[in-house]
């Protein structure tokens, strides 16, 4: 195994903050997607707004997707920062 991979796995194994950031990022990404799907599953408009129901649902779904992606990326950035800090501490 390459030396850099051993180093990465060693620091990752000892860095609880990095592990939690990765786990929480994945958890919130899936959770926000499921919440968006649940909220838009029975989305229905009445009256004259019924014609734009699909358009509004698609726009709201895109917003949920963006929020989920931002949450995932922000947790990845946090994990990277924690990894760098623990790498300096361990080496």
Q: What is the 3-state secondary structure (H, E, C) of the chain?
A: CCHHHHHHHHHHHHCHHHHHHHHHHHHHHHHHHHHHHHHHHCCCCCHHHHHHHHHHHHHHHHHHHHHHHHHHHHHHHHHHHHHHHHHHHHC
| pLDDT (0 to 100) of residue 2 | 87
Q: Which domain holds residue 16?
A: 3-90
| pLDDT (0 to 100) of residue 49 | 87
Domain count, the chain: 1
Query: Which pLDDT tens digit goes with each residue over 13-56?
Result: 999 999 999 999 999 999 999 999 999 998 899 988 888 999 99
Query: Which pLDDT tens digit goes with each residue over 51-63?
Result: 899 999 999 999 9
């Amino acid at each position: 195994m390459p030396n850099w991979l051993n180093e990465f796995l060693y620091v990752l194994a000892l860095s609880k903050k990095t592990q939690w950031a990765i786990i929480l990022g994945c958890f919130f990404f899936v959770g926000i997607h499921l919440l968006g799907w649940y909220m838009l599953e029975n989305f229905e408009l009445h009256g004259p707004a019924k014609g734009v129901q699909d358009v509004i649902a698609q726009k709201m779904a895109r917003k949920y997707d963006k929020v989920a992606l931002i949450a995932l990326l922000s947790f990845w950035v946090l994990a990277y920062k924690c990894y760098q800090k623990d790498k300096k501490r361990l080496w």
